[in-house]
Amino acid sequence: MKAVVIGEPSDVTMETIMSVYPRHKAIVEKYIAKGEVIGIGPFADRGNMAIFKTREAAEQYVTEDPFILEGLVKSFIIKDWNDTLL
């Protein structure tokens, strides 16, 4: 079972998002290198989603991501996802 983190956007500016982005990207790259994240990116409304191989990886990620820790993501949920294609 995979896990999906779905984040709701806050009202921060794109300038603020881009100032934090390098630190966010470093965390994402760490999870990619470990093979734990299989998809990640923004929605058109600046919300976001990340798909992890395990719930444990998703739960750890949300404790490290600067977008979450610094309030650029207003709120998030983690949902278990049964990917029936793989």
First to last CA, the chain: 10
Q: Which amino acid is at 56?
A: E
- Is 86 a member of any domain? no
Give the C-alpha distances (Å, rounded to integers) separating 32 from 27, 47, 69.
9, 20, 20
The CA angle 52-31-55, to the nearest 5 degrees, is 30
Beta bridge partners of residue 48, listed in sequence order = 7, 42
Give residue 85's pLDDT band: very low, low, confident or very high (50, 70, 90).
Answer: confident
- Is 10 a member of any domain? yes
**What total number of domains does the chain contain?**
1
Give residue 86's pLDDT band: very low, low, confident or very high (50, 70, 90).
Answer: low
- The tens digit of pLDDT for each residue in 7-63 reads 999 999 999 999 999 999 999 999 999 999 999 999 998 899 999 999 999 999 999
Distance CA 77, CA 61 (A): 12
- Is 76 a member of any domain? yes
Place of tokens 């990340």: 50
Domain encompassing residue 54? 2-81
Give residue 84's pLDDT band: very low, low, confident or very high (50, 70, 90).
Answer: confident
CATH code, 22: 3.30.70.1060
Q: Does residue 74 register a pLDDT over 90?
A: yes
Q: What is the pLDDT of residue 29?
A: 97
